[in-house]
Amino acid sequence: MAKSKKKVTPEQPQKPAVINDQPITETLIENYMPYSMSVIISRAIPEIDGFKPAHRKLLYTMYQMGLLKPNAARVKSAKVVGQTMQLNPHGDAAIYETMVRLTRGNEALLHPFVDSKGSFGKQYSEMAYAASRYTEVRLEPICAELFDGIDKDAVDFVDNFDATMKEPTLFPTSFPNILVSPNTGIAVGLASKICSFNLGEICDTAIALIEDPAADLHKTLPAPDFSTGAKLIYDRDQIDEIYRTGRGSFKLRAVYNVVGNTIEVTEIPYTTTVEAIMNRIVKLVKEGKIREISDVRDEIDKNGFKLAIDLKRGVDADKLMNRLFRLTTLEDDFACNFNVLISAVPRLLGVRDIIQEWHAFRCECLKRELFFELSQKQDKLHLLNGLAKILLDIDKAIAIIRNTQNERDVVPNLMDGFGIDRVQAEFVADIKLRNLNREHIIKRTDERSSLEDEIADLEDILKSSRRLDRLIINQLKNIKKKYAIPRKTKIVSDAEAFVDTEPAREEYTAYTVVTNEGYFKKISLQSIRQSDAHKLKEGDGITFEGEVSSESELLFFTDKSQVYKAKLDDFEFTKAASLGDYIPAKLEFEKDERVIFFMTEKEFDSRVTIIFTNGKGVTIGTDGFKTKNNRRRLTSAFSDASPVAGMICCRKGEDKKIFIHSASGRAMILNCSLVPYKSTRSAAGVNVMALKKNDVVKGAFALEDQEKTLARYSKSKIPNPGVVLNGADLDEAFSKVLK
């Protein structure tokens, strides 16, 4: 039997894949921007009630479970997590981790919202918390202040992710929780870090601002307060900047006692953990930088935090701690960034602005709550007015109902018989037969008088902002009385906290190099003699090089009107063939901040002349940059009214010549002494170069010497328009820049 041949069909050519070109800008707008906004609005940045959506969904679920009721029993955390997943579509681990931070056991909050039983780890330790099946939770009594009015239409409700339930968009918090509970979040291109304040002090401050919007915050709100205690090194300027702008930083220092030959640390900064401190100490001991310590132990127990540091015989404990403050996170910075969502818009607000925004929000919540109560009372009064008409003839009402053949006609007949509307007639028709007596009806209708008074009072409150404010103030006073606790973080002054943290060492000199791109090299004198061929990034150039003493302080001026201070010892020795340290990363600059001027200072008796692009100039003293403690950053170090065109340092008794040139091609040379001295660092200065409209100063620098060819640019009075600049003269001037 012959085999049948398979029919071979020609292979069909595949169609090429269709590729649609799309500009990257459209991709970002259509794909990346929605994601970014979702992270900012729905995940990372807290709103005016002090919560992120994850916190809000969890606490509202517990509220709906009845865990705020008096004598409510604790339930398994796993049960709460499971119920929360109806509102929060994240995994159970993420929800449980959110809960952990809100618990009393974790000690992350001054006023925890979850009463917990079991192991929930600690804010000051990397200790793992127990699984949700082992722990139990319920809501703390203070949560009643979060939900006050939530069942009276105080806030809006929206559908959950699958439109099967409703959840609140915000909590109608009756105190400024946004400043009481610490909060940290990192979104896309935006971050928020809010420190905590003492509840009693925040209530007093809110009351003071409601009564007087210009009240001095420092009188009622001295400084932040943290659940881990520690000491806050108080600097009025730093705290004032945080209160005013919502940004800034302050130092927190550990609290310790010396018992025998052991240092017992009992409180540490909120920003660190016991493991981080111990690991750092062990590393310092291994590197030989600290030889006075024989052992370090974590002695945390049910009584609270304790870190024990055993010392070798004859060691001065206080001097050692001073070094540890400098070398470990036993002293740490807390950087504030008060980004808050206001009506779904991220805003950077100071403390005064946040409280005022909360006050406006709370007023709206109270108005909605009062209007809800007013509507209910008006509805009740309306029903009682209908019932009062029945009192005129109860027998008639009974007769109407008894003589009506069809049930559907009862309400219309009552409406016709007594001249009442349908709602009132329905209410009368539903009264039980046993209540159709004169005594019951008189008791009910007697309520009308009190209802009318209550309605009039509610209407008056809704019309009077003063009475509304008084209501908020009374609530704040009651909250302070019920929940306020003593301050945990102690406040110490600069002078009290100042310690000589620098170990004694011999003075030395190093060759230093600073580049235009912000790189810093510290080179030994021997090394620079052997090779002075510097490695630089492409397009980079050297702006400073020379020998610097280890006793001098390094001052880095930035384009954001800040000065960062450092010591030579902060940098490691390197070779000329290396790029060196990147200053913005080394000194933790703000985003996009760069170095515009560098100088060294030892006696702080020099002067800095600053020429701005708007043609103004000012001379300020470096004595304003001298500080008692080891502050790394000086904010508002000079005026930010206009960008800086150039900075020139004049040592004591020195008077340098400044070459100034504008974008329009004019130039002038003048002595630094002509630019007026101002004792205030933020002074904007006086007009130095007279500029035409839309013209700006392009550059200003010191001259090492002045040739006759440049003499025609010399001026002895200001302001001065200068003279037309020859390009060759500008090149010559640049070649004489003082390095």
**Burial label, 566 (beta-carbon count in 10 A; 0-12, 13-18, 19+):** middle
Closest to 488 measured CA to CA, from 168, 252, 171: 252
Backbone angles phi, psi at 325, to 5 degrees: -60, -40
- Signed CA dihedral, 72, 76, 79, 84: sign only: positive
Q: What SS3 class is residue 362? A: helix
Is the distance from CB of 178 to CB of 50 less than 8 angstroms? yes
Cα of 207 vs its chain's centroid, Å: 22
Catalytic residue among 32, 134, 508, 677: 134
Is the distance from CB of 417 to CB of 393 less than 8 angstroms? no
Q: Is beta strand 157-159 parallel, antiparallel or unpaired with respect to 136-139?
A: unpaired
- In single-letter form, the type of residue at position 289 comes to K
| Residue 713 designated active-site | no
Q: What distance in Å separates the CA atoms of residue 596 and residue 608, rounded to the nearest whole number? A: 13
Q: HSE (CB half, 13 Å, CA atoms) of 265?
A: 29
Q: What distance in Å separates the CA atoms of residue 710 and residue 713, rounded to the nearest whole number? A: 6
- The count of other CB atoms within 10 Å of the CB of residue 716 is 8
Q: Quick check: bond before 13 cis, omega within 30?
A: no
Is the distance from CB of 37 to CB of 344 less than 8 angstroms? no
Q: What Rg do the C-alpha atoms of the chain give, in angstroms?
A: 36
Q: Which two tokens stand for residue 564?
A: 């960062």
Q: What distance in Å separates the CA atoms of residue 582 and residue 84, rounded to the nearest whole number? A: 47
Instruction: Give residues with Cβ within 8 angstroms of 289, minimum separation 6.
Output: 327
User: With the CA atoms of 358, 359, 360 and 361 taken in that order, what torsion angle do they form, in degrees rounded to the nearest 10?
Assistant: 50
Is the distance from CB of 631 to CB of 578 less than 8 angstroms? no
Q: What SS3 class is residue 672? A: helix
Q: What SS3 class is residue 723? A: strand
Number of H helices, E strands in the chain: 22, 33
Q: What distance in Å separates the CA atoms of residue 631 and residue 53, rounded to the nearest whole number? A: 37
- The count of other CB atoms within 10 Å of the CB of residue 189 is 10
Q: In whole angstroms, how far apart are CA 28 and each of 32, 34, 42, 166, 201?
A: 5, 9, 19, 32, 45
Q: What SS3 class is residue 108? A: coil
Is the distance from CB of 200 to CB of 142 less than 8 angstroms? no
Q: Which two tokens stand for residue 101?
A: 């931070």
Q: What distance in Å separates the CA atoms of residue 642 and residue 648, rounded to the nearest whole number? A: 17
Sheet-wide strand order for 581-582 = 542-549, 509-515, 519-523, 581-582
- Signed CA dihedral, 95, 98, 103, 106: sign only: positive
Q: List residues with catalytic annotation.
A: 134
